[in-house]
Structure 1
Amino acid sequence: MIGKAIEKTPRKFPLRITLVVPFVLQIVIAVGLIGYLSLRNGQRSVDNLANQLNSEIGKRIEQGVLNYLEEPHHLIDATYSAIQSSNLNPQDFEALGRYLWQIVHQQRLIDYFYYGNEQGEFIGVEQMEDGTVQLKIRTEASAPNRKTYLLNEQVQPQKLLKLLKYDPRPRPWYEAAKATGKSTWSKIYASFSRHNNSLEISPVKPVYDSNGKLLGVLSINMRLVLISDFLKDLYISPNGQTFIIERSGDLIASSTVSQPFKIVVKGDNKEIERLPAIKSSNAIVQGITQSLQNQFGGFNNINKRQNLKLFVHGERYYIEVVPIRDGRGIDWLAVVIVPENDFMAQINTNTQNTILLCLAALAVAIALGIYTSRWITHPILRVSQASNELAQGNLNQQIAPSPIIEIDTLADSFNGMAGQLKNSFESLEAKNEELRIAEENYRSIFENALEGIFQSSPEGRFINVNPTLAKIYGYNSPAEMIESITNISEQLYVDREKRTEFKELLKTQGTAKNFEYRSYCKDSSIIWTQIDARAVKNSQGKVLYYEGIVQNISDRKRREDELRRQLEELKIEIDHKKREKEVAMLTQSSYFQEVQQEMADVNLDEFWS
């Protein structure tokens, strides 16, 4: 028995060795890891900082370019609305010229606003770089020539400057609007009309009459050099740069390439040729473009934001590629470039300082660790074990009091936190169950409602519809309806102006009550519907979506029409009976009887002789 007891006795070590050696060993390992991780974290910090910087610059570029491209479309839309509301007659070139002059004169970024029609007529107002304003006009009387006049301050032609053969109809900007039938963009083209040769692009919009016949096209010239100026004003890093390209790879704008095109002289004529980014004189732009093309197999395959780190010409670069799309035909790529060396110099210095501090801390920690390890090891181990149990889901954790005040305070805090965490989990589970039940109730109401319920975007797409709404419009399921209808104004509204009226009500009042309009069904049949809707906005007042209830009121409309018809027939019948009554009263009067008697006593032969 004594032998067995001796065999079960564990080996014993001096307390100092048991407490100090593991503690010191941990400190040595920790300091070593800190030194190693310091270098790694420095690199990660650079990566995170560069990525955040690139992402922020990419967002600013995207927003800035889209804002610049959106402004001319707003002006064109306002002009189109003025024409549609008959406040502006596109055939009255005198009034149209004054209107275009006001736009060009007031807008800082708009230099050239013009309109061409199906008869080949043209009118445009252009503000030159010297501040003078020119009127360019082609009428049936001046065809096939377009006259260019210098305008005075009273917007009157002052001097004939140029006479040039010109027809707007075969022009790319006119054909682009005519082909799409809606607001879009022309292709990028060269401009020689100003003192500085430049690349330009035109927002265009076709103008139709009430019968849907094309009258003409509104357009504005936009200089892409302003986008380059915007890119140059952005500070990225000491050697950072950015550029924008088309999907073809041709340069549009750049913060470093002063002229994203080249001029080719052919005889007495000069032409502007687009410059592919891969052939740019800037070696970094050229190398990054080549790497992107190799990695993605073509720029058309980049459909979302890309955050990359590329090795080009012996140096690492942080790259952010941002697709820029406006929904009207613009599909560009913005590329932000930040060299790694712009950040690493300071990081390397910080890393060296960190390693030195770690070594100093190691020496101090070893000295202090020998003295304090035996006082703190055990209570910290209890806290660590309890924390691990808590992380594993065992919330019934309590730490015993410690003679060390700080450890005892930590134990009390931990015990309180564990109790609160347990209560929080129990409360969270109860709330999750309540939310699940509420969601099921809402979904049941939504799916089984007798009225059609919907959510739609301000741009004209359904976000969510219930089965009743799909049934009203003749669709087999909500999914089919959401997928089929991509433009509510064109596909549902028989009278498109009612859609404009509906959106205006939501914009001004926030709601639309008992709003009636005619709608197309899936089979192209027409029904009457009534809608009650509201605009749902965020805390900044921006409209997120529309939601409301739709009812099919076609039967009610037919009953109302039938009732009106019956009322008309009843009115006619009443008027007929009233006339019969008046005739009867007249024939029964004494005067009529006397006249009738006198007529009977008259000898007609004597009367006529």
Structure 2
Amino acid sequence: MLQAKTKSALSETRPSRSSPLGRQLPLRSILVVPFLLQISAAVGLTGYFSLRNGRTAVNDLAAQLIARTDQLVDQQLVSYLSLPPKVNQLNADLLQRRIVEPDDADTLSSLFWKEAKTYGQLDYIALTLPNGKYIGAGDWLSEPGIEIDIVAADGVGRTYSVDSQGQRQAIIDQYEYFPKAEPFYYQTVEAQKPMWTLVLEQFDTLAQNDPVYIAANANLPVYNSANQLLGVLSVDLRLSNISDFLANLELSQNSQVFIMQRNGDLVASSNGQPLYQSVNGEPQRLNALDSTDSLTQATTRALQERFDLQNIEQEQSLILPLQGQRRYLHIRPWRDADGLDWLVVTVVPESDFMAQIQANTRTTILLCLGALAIASVLGLYTSHWIVQSVWQLDRAARAISRGDLNQQVQKSSIQEFSSLGQTFNQMAKQLQESFETLEERVEERTQTLSNTLVELQQAQTQLIQTEKMSSLGQLVAGVAHEINNPISFIYGNLEPAKEYAQDLILLLQHYQSECPQPSPVIQAFIQEIDLVYLQSDFLKVLNSMELGAERITEIVRSLKIFSRQDESDVKTVDIHEGIDSTLLILSSQLKAQNWRPAIEVIQDYGDLPPVSCYPGQLNQVFMNILANAIDAIDESLERAGPIAVPQITIRTQATLNQAIIRIADNGLGIPENVRVKLFDPFFTTKPVGKGTGLGLSISYQIITERHGGQLTCWSKPGQGTEFAIAIPLTLPTR
């Protein structure tokens, strides 16, 4: 009916297209179209000129970014690479002026340690003597603190820990090293002047976070007044520090800066790519043409083809299509006085700048469109009073059809539209009230069904868990019974067997005393079976069998106690027996593993009288809490390292009307935000597949609902966790 009325109203206010009036131009079109045409032309011209001027500005922006980046890189390289030669020169002055003797290992190692500590960016400082002796200090192995290395002339090297004053302490490593065979030494001695070399070494991954050490090595030969070589001073700088600086440059989103040698080997990169590759298990420098970054590869290949890296002697700037888009390339040689000869390459994609230009163009167009909208509104306003009532009613009807029932039509100055609007408002209000009532009912039903579903899921899961434990209890009880019968038979016959064996041994001894010279055949058999050892060991074997049978009997007894899981009646039992049987079930997890020592269980049992309870369900609670304690200790060992003695402490005590059992571990502990959710169903911090999140929830229900007790937890991160169970000594009747 509503749609029919709306269509009728529209048909009364809009002329038919078949009538003569329908072929005339509407007044609204005459007023609005000229504005639209003017604004559209302005938008088009503005967008065209913005795009053209933006492309011109891109070149200037790219040039400015590259120039600023080059300046920052140059300043950083000068600052970073100028310190090692200065430190070398300072140490050379000390040696040449005889303030420090070249073979004074204690003074030099302490000096190098203090310099490495003072200049944090220096990774290693060393002196190699002509006789092969080597003295160095630094943190190049990424161990905490700075260490000292002393290599004797015979090549035996030792690494020392250092105290707070830079003095050598204990030896922490010993190795073989011949520094005179290294390029940094013989190349520097041959050159007889300061020079740089590159160090690429691989170390045991257990001793270093990054097993490959790549550094620029500043070397300085030191001569005395007689021009005799005193040694070669060396200072290491990690190349990764240059990469870290490049990565922190304020570049555009997809820009890249990398530094390489003339042969293409990477020195540093802003994208964090590795500077080496593994070939047959050995580290080798990574050439930019073999880089893991496709843009670095493409850029290097383009520069090699266009210029030949060996022949680039001055800055070069060009624009090349790489990887499907235009990119600005800039390459600049970088040299220092001691022989470093690197190429600094900056790559800036045009799209990074065009995106901003295009965004500005879009903003301009949107502003023009806003002006167009304002002009359209002004044009529409002149005809608004004629069709306002019809349009208002049409919009309200369409909104209701989309589900937006909160609609009211304003009163019109036209009598017919005013009456229709009042009727429409009453209908919309009634429809909205009916819809809200229906929504409330549906929401209530949905909430009820959701709560019921959650309760059913919890009940189903708990029922399955209870059924599993019941089946386990029946199985354990059956197995224990089947084992107990033959063990009882064996254990019962061991004592007669011992008596028979003693009688036989006594008889044999009487025989030997009466017949000290048996026949040769008997004598040979006595020697073959080692009769003396057999007599002494036979009773020991029977005693061992007796101990084993007693152990099996104890295990069977514990299994029978734990198999009370399927018992649903209240019984008066010894709580300690249930705890001991649970510990026996978990004994394999408590034993030492290849990743940890055995977990020590401290059983501090008080004078606890028999308790009226559901023994099977109580054993299930003990099992859940003890298993969680073992998991907490294992996780602590995995995340925080070895614990002095992993322990689980079980204490029991009796009050006037309650039995209290406390189970504590010395694991990592539980954060407060996790502890408050421990007893929520399905809440778990364990990985998927390792825990259901129901163990503690079911335990909480067993203690609080089935036994009318309390189950509480205390824990702090780093201080372990303690669960306290308090249940009545006599279970109240239900």
- TM-score, normalization by structure 2: 0.41
The structure in which a higher percent of residues are strand is 1
